Chain A
């Protein structure tokens, strides 16, 4: 019954022409001594325009693997992923990913790290790349830090460089893989508060954001929609639309009710 409701909602989204990302009956098997080891089973989800979708589930269930499938870094065994009208068949410029660890080159400055993300863009001149990188650093709150090396930046600032690098290529889809989990509580809290308005804003090209996280409070603070996965082999056990107004009050009863709803699906 639940499946039917979700499907009809999806059909409405498709009909409205607002769907940016479609994950359509995706399966992934690993092979152990020629025996298939299912990791993801029949996973479907959508992200519509200006929506932040969070994917959660037990540790090791395959959340990050699903994100890598959406990014084109991992090929599913069956099923497909579409961004707008085209199928994702490999990594592409309109999908960016921010990882848990900062993955910055320590011998390059902040600007050079952002530029590195644009190095494969043959359609841009060096001057255009520079302008894009500087503008992305500014959007990420790092104006003035262009010439600073990663070793001189705090964890939060390093993650901002990662966000700037992801934004510089003008992606339509931004994928975030536990982006706050390497940060101390205070820094994570601050970056989290900024992230929704930073990414889904007219200043950026981003149309949809997909976040993978195991932190349920973080998810309710940020997400418009939550996809809950089961343990391995992972399948979707729940899809919730979070209609709390923003900015969200983490102390409110409504907030706790939403947190409880996600926990009840996880347990």
Chain B
């Protein structure tokens, strides 16, 4: 039996239902399912989950992230991905002979890269693959839990911002967004607006209108 309605606000320890299916940010005790965080409950058929509003980034396989090279090691790099755990990238991603070549030729300390997480181990420490150097441009920090809204369904939101502003944008699931090109300030304003209003309905339309207004007024 479901004890919450769709889009109801919940807090840690709030009961979601008895004998129901569970996913995301909830836990089971006996037959009962409870929320483990402060957030918004979503109900789909017989399953309940909770959408978070805030929270840090925990690495997940196949996420694309934006990292900062923090150390060049022997045959690999240590990358800061803004999480509590470490991320490594093997030198073999860019060269055949990683042990004998100077890896700082490819990426040196402080360089920005976007990469995909290929593996996360039981300590949540991750391996990165397919690095892409992000040159120039700038990075903003966004609440990692709002990234799905910045990207939108089938990337709709992100493509719309890119088309309208003509700005190059790379979104990392770890909450870092890289921008380069035209109208950066407007793109940032739009992203901040999405971050603030993430849980409201009809957001894509509102952002589209917002971008049109901003672009016209300059």
Are the chains A and B members of one assembly? no
- State the B residues within 8 Å of A (CB): none
